[in-house]
Chain A
Amino acid sequence: MALRPILEFPDPRLRTVAKPVTAFDAELKTLTEDMIETMYEAEGIGLAASQIDVHKRVLVIDVSEEKDSPQVFINPTFDILDQETQDYDEGCLSVPGFYETVSRPRRVLIKAQNVEGDAFEIDADGILAICIQHEIDHLDGKLFVDYISKLKRDRIRSKLEKAHRKSA
């Protein structure tokens, strides 16, 4: 297993739309294992392959308190089950240190495949519903900062660019 570097906003590669997974092979298994390790190391609760510059429709999520229940979602989609929205202060491993309130549908039906290619569904609410929508956005080249005002987004952009210059 290996840690993979996480791309940070405003890196243009985060805007790539990921392609569906067709081969459920050893390479895919290694990718998901690396992603889980990278997510835990960064103390995240979810990671999309897009964030480590692999543009395949692959997500890993662990919303448990003990951080011992990783879930893998291949080719995930969701249907909205409840139009009512909930607000949550979202953060992102690709936008480190910033948290902004985003409204998303409260309850969704997640449809995805596991690492062997078997299809499954989860009726999700709470943090899992928020997290899956946040991560699927990544696969479509979207970030949570797209939901906030341009003023706030530009401020985050300039602060992160400054931090990147410092560490470069």
Chain B
Amino acid sequence: MAAKGARAIAAKVLNTLQSGTSGSLGNLLDDYRDREDFSLIQELCFGTCRWFPALEFLLHKLLSKPLKAKDGDVRWLLLVGLYQLRELSIADYAAINESVEASRSLKKPWAAALVNAVLRNYLRRKDDLENELLSGGSAARHAHPQWLVDAIEKQYGYIAPDIFAGNNVRPPMTLRVNLNKCSREEYQEKLAEIGLLASAGQCADTALILNEPCHVDELFGFRDGWVSVQDEASQLVPSLLELKPGQRVVDACAAPGGKTAAILEREPELASVVAIDSSARRLSRVTENLTRLDMAVSSPDASSIRSDATVRLVAAKAEELDAWWDGAPIDRLLLDAPCSATGVIRRHPDIKVLRTPEDVAHCCESQATLLQSLWPCLAEGGLLLYTTCSVLAEENQNTLENFLNSTYNAKCVRIVADWGVECVAADGRSLGRQLLPTDAKGPDGFFFALLRKITSASKSE
């Protein structure tokens, strides 16, 4: 039997990704997880996306005439080849031979000579081409799509290059220690005993950052809920919500359930938690995650109703209240809104290939709708935490400001913290706090705004 090589698979996956109908890179890669060479396939796909705008610039210089639209797979094979030559420690001849071979298994044997010529040409002209890249346009230089370069430069000015650089590194693997099992320091020692080194997070008191990523099964007690994998930014959510026993909590866009779990770990004595997500398929990940942490879940399909269930999962659009709300006021509401994910590009580099400015506009509409629809469920004095993994003002402080201006009983509570930067309106009001993904071992880009529902009486104070 002959197996299709990793390069051919990477080219095929990336070409399907760009066609845009089949979801994220992570979903597309699921088909290949059983393969021995899965880690190489994953590295080729993630790395090629991470440098996509720069690789495209180089390829454009190397091709005498553009490839036909139907040869998208050959184009991606060339980009994957360039990525290997630039960034990986694979021997040059091996990277080229394997790429040439891959053109045959893509059923494009005519492309073998082209692949060979382009990749060898790159090696020959490497210094000149890389210099041209540095003096080329900002999209290629920063390896970000032009619209995003423009948006980030406009909003962040001199910090923008740090954001681009932060998006181009491999993300840290960050753990959330379950403090009900042991302290962060105790868990850090348990990891050290099995040879895994980690340092304490800079913002969240539950966070440990591994020096090197590892498989979750290597983590002490992972299956028994001692620890979860979660970025430090998300771990900040429970402490901001001021959780207390007996509260009714809703997580409005819950999947895959990391924040729902973090909330329950922080305060196991909540009266109830409703975890809502529009996708039933993604909700099954919430069940998995919560079950591993031994949290009582009742699933949406009623297959496992537990009388002691604290968490109720609902597959519904959160803005359609009839589908999940019993009418009793909610004390704490987490709205981790759908967004452009421009703060987590280092974890999802396929964003550089897929995301468009139209997507951002679409997200802004959803965010405004969700805020307006969910607000009536909140109890007077209750808190709504609005979060996104975006760094763009229109999805964060602008969405917030619009909502505050049109909602008489909403007040933004200033978040006092030693992390991130405060977003401030022209009149000096706080509009939340922004984390930027500029530190390779630090948190993702993330936005937090805490809203309190005030009574008409306290409005006049």
Contacts and interface: CB of A to CB of B under 8 A. Distances in A.
A91 B34 CA distance: 17
A168 B1 CA distance: 24
A45 B2 contact: yes
Interface string A125-141: 11100110011000000
A126 B1 contact: no
A39 to B, nearest CB: 9
Contacts of B36: 63-65, 127
A131 B105 contact: no
Given A63-B36, A97-B107, A99-B107, A131 B1 contact: yes
27 contacts: A43-B2, A43-B101, A44-B1, A45-B1, A45-B2, A47-B1, A61-B1, A63-B36, A65-B36, A65-B40, A91-B1, A91-B2, A91-B3, A92-B1, A92-B2, A93-B2, A96-B2, A97-B104, A97-B109, A98-B107, A125-B34, A126-B34, A127-B3, A127-B36, A131-B1, A135-B1, A144-B1
Given A91-B3, A99-B105, 9 more contacts: A44-B2, A44-B3, A45-B1, A47-B1, A65-B36, A92-B1, A97-B107, A125-B34, A134-B1
B35 A91 contact: no
A61 B40 CA distance: 21
A91 B3 CA distance: 6
Contacts of A134: 1
A41 interface: no
A46 B1 contact: yes
Q: Which of B1, B31, B37, B40 has the most CB of A within 10 A?
A: B1
A44 B4 CA distance: 10
Contacts of A61: 1
Interface in B1-35: 1-4, 31, 34-35
A91 B40 CA distance: 20
B1 A90 contact: yes
Contact of A126 (B2, B35, B40, B101): B35
Interface of B: 1-4, 31, 34-37, 40, 101, 104-105, 107, 109
Interface of A: 42-47, 61, 63-65, 86-87, 89-93, 96-99, 125-127, 130-131, 134-135, 144
Contact of B105 (A64, A97, A130, A135): A97
Nearest to B34: A126
A24 to B, nearest CB: 25
Nearest to A62: B36
Contacts of B109: 97
Contacts of B4: 89, 91, 99
A97 B4 CA distance: 9
Contacts of B35: 126-127
Contacts of B107: 97-99
Contact of A127 (B31, B34, B40, B105): B34
Nearest to B106: A99
